[in-house]
Chain A
Amino acid sequence: MTDAVDMRVSIGALELKNPVLTASGTFGYGLEYDDFFDVAVLGGICTKGLSLEPRHGNAPARITETSGGMLNAIGLANVGVEAFCTDKLPKLRERGVTVVPNIFATSVEDFVSLAERLDGEEGVAALELNVSCPNVDHGGLEFGCDPVAAARVTAAVRAATRLPVWVKMSPEAGDLAGVARACESEGADALTAINTIRGLAIDIHSHRGKIANRTGGLSGPALKPIALRMVWELSRAVKIPIIGIGGVSTWQDAVEYLLAGASAVQVGTASFVDPRAAKHILDGLASYCSQRGTTPEQLTGAMI
């Protein structure tokens, strides 16, 4: 008896079917799931980070498992924004999927070009700015760790598109609240928090890093308590909605994020363990809300 629950949530002016989305870099382009479940039931999907030109990504090894999590340094391998608009987006539109392209660039000008390109497409719900990738040489953390640089990207993209703009926060910003407030004041519609935290794993037999890039972003359940704390802090620092991300593996995790102040969550690494994870989390959350006679919107920030 979950159909009575109003699962809709508002992320600024954008209304989502429900608060369960999938995280960029863990869900491909959303078209890989036809055998598993109907992706259109989700609140939305954030695509693999898109750049102006296609990227091959880093040399292997790119991933390694760690206790309760994993490190990755994929290097933003992606098909490029043109191929996305031509080959992927029409199919997503057909399926009724709520699509949030995640965009990545090494300059403000390229961020603007990406935003302008996607602004012209039907079926894009919002843009997520990746200013926090830890695994590329340029354009990653340097935007996301500096309030001035983050504000500059946000303002430029805001001016270039009618679409809602979400900014994905780096946990490595020394002044996370400062970066968040700078993005808010330049017109960000929401903040996604958090991206991965850089970690390291070493092979004790070869004495080499377990991934070729040496450091890689930590994701998975091991990340959750840190991410949850940051979401809680951010929700008190800004008025715009927070989309919580970091180790969401079960519906209970999703409830925690809402209670900490998130308006929605993104499911990441859990989709590797089970491609149906986001659907299971959505069903579990709906059932929890139904049993408690509450809604996701009422849970947001309800921690006592």
Chain B
Amino acid sequence: MGLTWRPDRAYLTGLAVAGTRKPVSTRAMHTLPLAQRDDLGNGYYVLWFDSPAPVAASAGQFTMVRSAEWGVAPLLPRPMSLLSGGSRPSMLIKVVGEGTRRMAEDPMGQPYNLLAPLGHAWTPLPEGHRPVLVAGGVGVAPLVYLAEELSAAPDALAPISLYGGRTTRDLPLAERLEACGELAVTTEDGSRGRAGRVTLLLDELLAKAAGSGDKLAVYTCGPHGMMRAVAERAEAAGVWCRASLEAPMGCGYGVCLGCPVAKRDGSYFYTCVDGPCVDAKQVDWTKEVF
């Protein structure tokens, strides 16, 4: 586990607290050398890039990423949530296909094109609310970024993170969530934390908050089915909830129209420009994504 922890947090460039949100930053193509790759095991890696011109990102935003040396295959850049911005932009990847396989193997120093920052960041934490971050597998990335933004903010309550994975090897970056507040995990095989799905932790937390009157703000990112379950529970409990959507993308900036996610009003979110972070109540979770 080559995870590198940066305690100075100099790469945090935004604060996700109401009233302190930065103006929307300019999107740009950054051609950056691959500076570092941390192997987290089981096909998970964190890629770090050196960026002389800081990437002015906030938690929840993403990048379209592709090596400048890939030629015409794989052709399209890959959408990846940013794990950090600034002068050390980074992302968490899981090897699932040819593009991510190359990202896991390309030599250090190889130039990559990062179109960033893209999309809508997480909505700032409503005042007086306790942030609850519900993560599934590789979907943890924008929530780690958020947890670190929140813990760097002077007035925000420390986040409670609920993190589910298939096995103990599918909980990358759990220690970074833990460093920012409370962390509880589930695994489907019971190899770490509670056995079962992450929603069982959420159910308990929602019940507790209903009793105590604590106001919760749920942020979630993970597989579609998990986010659907989280969104339904939050809505039933009348709890504020934001989700970071995932979809295949061609461009990442609103022109290819390849990343629709069904809305309840019958139209579509385009994940890249209307999301990825959206109000979970507006999503028609019953529709298939892709």
Contacts and interface: CB of A to CB of B under 8 A. Distances in A.
Contact of B255 (A28, A56, A61, A62): A28
A272 B75 CA distance: 9
Interface stretch (B153-161, B211-219, B256-264): B256-264
A210 to B, nearest CB: 9
A273 B268 contact: no
A62 B257 contact: yes
B75 A70 contact: yes
Contacts of A27: 255
Nearest to A69: B75
A274 B255 CA distance: 12
A60 B255 CA distance: 16
Interface in B237-290: 247-251, 253-262, 266-268, 287-290
A17 interface: no
A274 B75 contact: no
Contact of B250 (A60, A70, A221, A276): A70
Given A56-B266, A61-B290, A70-B75, A275 B253 contact: yes
A58 B288 CA distance: 13
Interface in A68-84: 68-70, 72, 74, 77
Contacts of A28: 254-255
A69 B258 CA distance: 14
B253 A32 contact: yes
B247 A60 contact: yes
Q: Is the interface of B mostly helix, strand, loop or mixed?
A: loop
B72 A249 contact: yes
A64 interface: yes
A65 interface: yes
Nearest to B254: A32
A60 B260 contact: yes
B258 A68 contact: no
B156 to A, nearest CB: 30
B81 to A, nearest CB: 19
Interface size classification for chain A: 35 or more
B103 to A, nearest CB: 15
Nearest to B78: A65
Contacts of B259: 60, 62
Q: Is the interface of A mostly helix, strand, loop or mixed?
A: loop
B255 A269 contact: no
A271 interface: yes
B287 A59 contact: yes
Contacts of B253: 32, 275
B229 interface: no
A63 B251 CA distance: 11
Contact of A65 (B76, B262, B287, B290): B76
Contacts of A101: none
Contacts of A56: 266-268
Given A60-B289, A61-B290, A269-B75, A274 B29 contact: yes
A61 B261 CA distance: 9
B113 interface: yes
A64 B256 contact: no
Interface in A38-57: 48, 56-57
B267 A272 contact: no
A60 B29 contact: no
> Most chain-A CB neighbours within 10 Å: which of B259, B268, B289?
B268
B76 A273 contact: yes
B77 interface: yes
Given A48-B255, A68-B75, A275-B115, 11 more contacts: A28-B255, A32-B254, A36-B28, A56-B267, A60-B261, A67-B73, A74-B256, A222-B72, A273-B66, A274-B113, A275-B29
Interface of B: 26-29, 66, 72-77, 113, 115, 247-251, 253-262, 266-268, 287-290
25 contacts: A25-B257, A28-B255, A32-B253, A32-B255, A35-B26, A35-B27, A35-B28, A36-B28, A48-B255, A48-B257, A56-B266, A59-B262, A60-B260, A60-B262, A60-B289, A61-B289, A62-B259, A63-B249, A63-B256, A65-B74, A68-B72, A77-B257, A220-B75, A271-B255, A273-B77
Interface of A: 25-28, 32, 35-36, 48, 56-57, 59-65, 67-70, 72, 74, 77, 220-222, 249, 269, 271-276
